[in-house]
């Protein structure tokens, strides 16, 4: 039997982080699998940071990102680039992770060429096509044509069953982001001195780490988020608020206008993955609209306040590590204040077991791929 030849496609920083363990697991089993790595370049500079950190080399880089392109333009370029890659490499299957434009197009392009599609992190749902937008649509479309659904949790698997996905196509694997995080945090703790020097201004006190970038919060949403942070900075002058600010002007403008003059609010450039892992580990709590952070932070015993009205990751919400606060000024201020002043509440939000995985997801996913017989 010849080696399995999967085409692994990713294009954004979060995808690269979550696909890196799968690529490495494939390379570890070089006697039975020959991975082909294709980058779409949906996030250009941030993607390069992650691929360098994990030592990933691409067989093909489509370099699709163009300044100010629309989603429709990106989608069209993705179709052309990915279909050309499939024609060139003729893989046995296609593998992609999550809910980006890259994933949705990869799934459809594989379907058009009658190739099996493996969806890593399958089955996440909010039930609302507008939130997160356009990710909820992307993952639903991908699921329709997926051959193997690698669900991170039993809840995600149940979402797929509710959509009448055949049981034999659903596998609960855990989330590969935990595989990546556990490797990275061990490495960054060992080399913490460089980050401690860089962030000496934070001192030894409490730190609230903030991230925000979602399209649905552009405009009034980000203005309200910034007003809440400004209020908190005034109320807790001994707490440092660290905000690596996304490069999108829709984020930069309100953040710098409303928070730029607060002495205990530190606005920085977006942090590369290893630096951000250290910052999560260093923080007291995290205020975010990120999906990946909701999965990672419980492994570091950090409470998370999510600036969204819905989440497709309800497991940590049910366990108590996550609270949805939306973009409402009063809700954000009240919830952050409670965690900074109530030790019992803070301790209740710290999980001993992360519901999203145990660090073995990539091994399970590659096992499943090899069991399908696509290389016969």
pLDDT in tens, 120-136: 999 999 999 988 889 99
Does the annotation mark 149 as catalytic? no
Q: What angle do CA 217, 235, 333 make, to 5 degrees?
A: 35
Joined tokens for residue 201: 């201004």
Q: Is the predicted pLDDT of residue 15 greater than 80, yes or no?
A: yes
Other Cβ atoms within 10 Å of 248 Cβ, number: 12
Assign 324 to helix, strand or coil.
Answer: strand
H-type alpha helices, 283-326: 291-296, 314-319
pLDDT tens digits for range 220-238? 888 999 999 999 999 999 9
* Residue 307 pLDDT: 92
Whole-number CA gyration radius for the chain: 20
Q: Is the predicted pLDDT of residue 67 greater than 90, yes or no?
A: no
* Residue 254 pLDDT: 86
Does the annotation mark 213 as catalytic? yes
Listed by start position, the domains of the chain span: 6-174+360-371, 191-348
Catalytic position from the list 25, 92, 99, 188: 99
Does the annotation mark 121 as catalytic? yes
Q: Which residues of 323-352 are buried (b: 16+ CB within 10 A; e: fewer)?
A: bbbbbbbebbbebbeebbeeeeeeeebebe
Does domain 6-174+360-371 bear CATH number 3.40.50.2000?
Answer: yes
Catalytic position from the list 246, 313, 363, 364: 246
pLDDT tens digits for range 337-371? 999 999 999 999 999 889 999 999 999 999 999 99
Per-residue pLDDT band at 292 (split at 50, 70, 90)? confident
Q: Is the predicted pLDDT of residue 304 greater than 80, yes or no?
A: yes
Catalytic position from the list 215, 266, 301, 331: 215
Does the annotation mark 15 as catalytic? no
Do domains 6-174+360-371 and 191-348 share one topology? The answer is yes
Please tell me which residue, 278 or 353, carries the higher pLDDT value: 278
* Residue 220 pLDDT: 84
Q: Which candidate, 349, 5, 13, places its Cα nearest to that of 180?
A: 13
* Cβ pair 42, 75 in contact under 8 A: no
Catalytic position from the list 15, 25, 121, 296: 121
Cis preceding linkage at 134, omega within 30: yes
Catalytic position from the list 29, 213, 227, 331: 213
Catalytic position from the list 15, 25, 92, 135: 135
Mean pLDDT of the chain: 93
Give the chain's end-to-end CA distance (angstroms, integer). 6
Class of domain 191-348: alpha beta
Q: Is the predicted pLDDT of residue 312 greater than 90, yes or no?
A: no
């Amino acid at each position: 039997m010849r080696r399995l030849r999967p085409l692994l496609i990713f294009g954004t920083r979060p995808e690269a982080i979550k696909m890196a363990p799968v690529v490495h697991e494939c390379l570890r089993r070089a006697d039975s699998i020959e991975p082909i790595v294709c980058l779409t370049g949906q996030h250009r500079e941030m993607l390069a940071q992650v691929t360098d950190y994990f030592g990933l080399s691409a067989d093909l880089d489509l370099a699709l990102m163009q300044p100010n392109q629309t989603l429709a333009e990106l989608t069209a370029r993705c179709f052309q680039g990915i279909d050309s890659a499939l024609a060139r490499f003729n893989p046995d299957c296609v593998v992609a992770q999550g809910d980006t434009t890259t994933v949705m197009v990869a799934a459809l392009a594989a379907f058009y060429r009658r190739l099996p599609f493996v969806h890593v992190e399958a089955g996440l749902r909010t039930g609302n096509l507008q939130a997160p937008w356009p990710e909820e649509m992307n993952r639903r479309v991908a699921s329709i044509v997926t051959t193997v659904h690698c669900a991170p949790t039993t809840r995600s698997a149940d979402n797929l069953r509710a959509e009448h996905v055949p049981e034999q196509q659903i596998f609960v694997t855990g989330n590969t982001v935990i595989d990546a995080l556990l490797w990275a945090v061990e490495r960054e703790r060992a080399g913490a001195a460089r980050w401690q020097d860089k962030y000496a201004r934070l001192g030894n006190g409490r730190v609230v780490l903030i991230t925000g970038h979602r399209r649905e919060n552009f405009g009034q949403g980000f203005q309200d988020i910034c007003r809440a942070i400004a209020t908190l900075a005034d109320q807790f002058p001994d707490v440092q608020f660290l905000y690596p600010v996304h490069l999108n002007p829709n984020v930069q403008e309100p953040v710098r206008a409303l928070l730029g003059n607060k002495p205990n609010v530190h606005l920085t450039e977006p942090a590369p993955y290893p630096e951000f892992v250290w910052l999560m580990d260093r923080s007291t709590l995290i205020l975010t609209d990120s999906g990946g952070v909701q999965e990672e932070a419980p492994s570091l015993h950090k409470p998370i306040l999510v600036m969204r009205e819905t989440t497709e990751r309800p497991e940590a919400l049910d366990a108590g590590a996550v609270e949805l606060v939306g973009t409402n000024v009063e809700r954000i201020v009240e919830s952050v204040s409670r965690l900074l002043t109530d030790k019992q509440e803070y301790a209740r939000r710290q999980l001993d077991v992360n519901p999203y995985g145990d660090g073995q997801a990539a091994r399970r996913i590659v096992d499943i791929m090899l069991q399908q017989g696509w290389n016969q």
